[in-house]
Structure 1
Amino acid sequence: MKAEVKWLGGRAFEGTPDSGHSVIMDSSPAFGGEDRGVRPMELLLLGMGGCTSIDVMNILEKSRQDVSGCVAEISADRADEDPKVFVRIHVHFKVTGRNVEAKRVERAIELSAEKYCSASIMLGKTAEITHDFEIIESD
């Protein structure tokens, strides 16, 4: 895997990985940025959220759960001192569907966290990562 990060001026950068899908990153105005894109640390959380969500949906589909929606709400705390790494991350999954089994959702989250989600496992080296979920019955 390769990526390129190109300076756009100020504190803004455009990141482009092998896939070709670019993302703009910038710092906040308090740190000299112009708020032109996501913060790099926000991008880490989004990456982890995407990684684990993809896993959970794959596992639920393979276990034949009738899922019509999945939202991962992520909250995180960072260290007070530099480097301000993530120290706590919590992921709350909202899974919508018909007759979705709680034990299947719990197992999907567990498998993602412990075996499949590279981003979660990597961030778990510095942060305590917790999960919970709710199931929303659809019509």
Structure 2
Amino acid sequence: MQVKVKWVDGVSFVGESETGHAVVLDGAPENGGRNIGMRPMEMLLIGMGACTSFDVVTILKKSRQPIVDCVAEIHAERADSVPKVFTKIHVHFVVTGEGLNATQVERAVKLSAEKYCSASIMLQKACEITHGFEIKAPSFD
């Protein structure tokens, strides 16, 4: 895998993936940024959240679970001093589907956390990561 991060100005950057996608990253105004993009540490959490969500959705679909939505709500704590690394991360999945089996959802979350999600398994080496989930019935508003 290869990516490129190009400096734009100030503390603004454009990250480009080898698959041709781009994203703007920027620092906070108090650090010279213009607030035109995500902060790099936000992007790291989003990447981890997408990685683990990919696993959970895929595992549930393969288990023939009637999943219609999956949202990973992630809360992270950081060290007070530089480097302000993540010290704790909690991933809470809100999985929606009529008749979802809680045991299957729990299994999918556990498999992602312990076996499949490269991003969260890598981050677990640096900080505590916990997981939780809730199941919601779909609303037909």
Question: Normalising TM by the smaller chain, what interval?
Answer: over 0.9
Matches within 5 A, 1:115-126: 115-126=115-126
Runs of 4+ in 1 over 6 A off after TM superposition: none
Partner in structure 1 of residue 76 of structure 2: 76
Aligned CA RMSD, in angstroms, stands at 0.8
Percent identical: 59
Where do 5+ consecutive residues of structure 1 fail to align?
none
- TM normalised by structure 1 equals 0.98
Question: Could you tell me how far apart the structure 2 residues matched to 1:95 and 1:76 are?
Answer: 20
Number of matched pairs: 139
Letter in 1 for 2:118: S
Q: CA deviation at 1:83?
A: 1.1
Where do 5+ consecutive residues of structure 2 fail to align?
none
- Structure showing the higher strand proportion among its residues: 1
Partner in structure 1 of residue 87 of structure 2: 87
Letter in 1 for 2:116: Y
Matches within 5 A, 1:36-51: 36-51=36-51
Question: Could you tell me how far apart the structure 2 residues matched to 1:90 and 1:19 are?
Answer: 30
1:25-44 deviations in Å (ceiling 9; x for gaps): 00000111000100000000
Partner in structure 2 of residue 114 of structure 1: 114
Q: CA deviation at 1:81?
A: 1.5
Question: Could you tell me how far apart the structure 2 residues matched to 1:37 and 1:106 are?
Answer: 34
Question: Could you tell me how far apart the structure 1 residues matched to 2:27 and 2:122 are?
Answer: 24
